[in-house]
Every structure is written in C-alpha cells, then in structure tokens.
Amino acid sequence: MTIETYKVNGMHCVGCGRAIRKLLEKNAHIESVVTDTYDTEIVVTYDEAHVDRQIILDAVGRFGYKAVKKEAAT
C-alpha cells in the first residue's frame, strides 16, 4: 500500500471533500481517502500495483479542482 498526501486547490467545504472521497473510493484498489477541507488536503491509501497516480489526479480534476502531490516531509 502507498499512502500519499495531495494538496487540492479549491476543495473548500465538506461537500467538495465528500464528493472527491466518494468518487475515489469507487476504485476497489483505493483503500481509503481522508479529506481535510481545512488544510485542503486529501490522504489517499492505495494499491500502487493497480492504481496509477494519474487516476487520482484525474478523479479530482473531474470536479474542477487541481490536486498536487505533496512531497513527504522528512
């Protein structure tokens, strides 16, 4: 499993977050999506063998938002 955080510009309310989460979770290989509308971030846990990162970016983009992967803070 891969866990990645994405900054989602424009995800300003709970409704946005819920819509994004519902869409992503339709993918059986995306295990969980946690949305944080305060920090406008989502944390996606997925099976990297079956899910390409572009799928996540495209799904978020369908709502008119732009997701940018955050580099892991080390």
Residues at the contact surface with Cu ion, assessed by CB under 5 A: 12-13, 15-16
Tokens representing residue 38 in the block: 């305060």
| CB closer to Cu ion, 40 vs 51 | 40
CB of 8 to Cu ion, least distance (A): 11
* CB burial of residue 62 (10 Å; 0-12, 13-18, 19+): exposed
Measured in degrees and rounded to the nearest 5, phi and psi for residue 2 equal -115, 140
Nearer to Cu ion, 51 or 60 (CB): 60
To Cu ion, the closest distance from the beta carbon of 16 in angstroms equals 3
CB of 19 to Cu ion, least distance (A): 8
